[in-house]
Amino acid sequence: MHLEIRGLEKLSFRERQAVVLKESGKSQEQIAKKLHLSPSSVATLLNRAKGKGYEIVCIIPEAEFGLGGYDFDEEDTES
């Protein structure tokens, strides 16, 4: 699975850092420690970023659904 964060260009550098860590599964306390900020500062960064409208898109390869290597068009042409 691959996560894509759309709208990062709208965010400040610090907001990007906080968002990437959050979307990687880190807690606000962990983010605060990593970025040397207070948890309330992290909350502010994340709220600002959310207000700017970034979005997460999950890209799941076909193989994870058992579809890898199967060409649907082949079935149609054999009929």
Tens digit of pLDDT for each residue in 11-42? 999 999 999 999 889 999 999 999 999 999 99
CA–CA separation, 26 and 32 (whole Å): 10
Percent of the chain clearing pLDDT 90 (strictly above): 58
What does pTM read for this prediction? Answer: 0.71
Q: Tell me what pLDDT residue 62 has.
A: 75
Residue with tokens 């907001």: 15
Q: Are 69 and 38 in contact (CB under 8 A)?
A: no
Cβ atoms 2, 50 nearer than 8 A: no
